[in-house]
Amino acid sequence: MPELPGSILFACTQNALRSVMAAGLVKFLHGNRIYVESCGVRPGVLDPFAVTVMDELGIDIAKHRPKSFEELEDGFFDVVISLSPEAQHKAVELTRASAVDLEFWNTLDPSFVEGSREQRLEAYRAVRDSLLRRIRERFPPAGTPGL
């Protein structure tokens, strides 16, 4: 089993859904074995569809308050994973002089999907499930807490 990093930062454009879901999934799979944080290029408003699809897995992100890179309390992470091109550019700028693993997981923004409530929820579930698969591959959990 690969060694897990001590800390991970997930970043996206507004810290309103993709990075929040990714951080919530890592926290669920690894508990406090990994310090996990999320941020955005600029803070947005927490997306209620993201809250709904995470709640379907028993993961509560409803208390999350979106924040920007500049609002992070800790500026050093072992791994920084960008989920949008905008976040990748910002992460490259901020980590230029740091010994950090920087990864780009270009992830669809499901908030652009139009249609019925159910069609929109399906788009969010697809993003959630894609992130879950990628996280399980990159940071395999020791035990399987149900996901």
Q: What are the structural domain ranges in the chain? A: 7-138
Domain 7-138 has CATH 3.40.50.720: no
> Above 60 in pLDDT, residue 40?
yes
Digit-coded pLDDT (tens) for 45-82 = 999 999 999 999 999 999 999 999 999 987 789 999 99
pLDDT at 76: 86
Q: 0.85 cut: is pTM over it?
A: yes
With residue 102 as reference, give the H or E element that holds it: strand 101-104
Q: 101-104 and 79-82: which strand pairing?
A: parallel
Distance CA 66, CA 17 (A): 9
| Backbone φ and ψ of 133, nearest 5° | -60, -45
| Backbone φ and ψ of 104, nearest 5° | -120, 110
User: What radius of gyration do the chain's Cα atoms show?
Assistant: 14
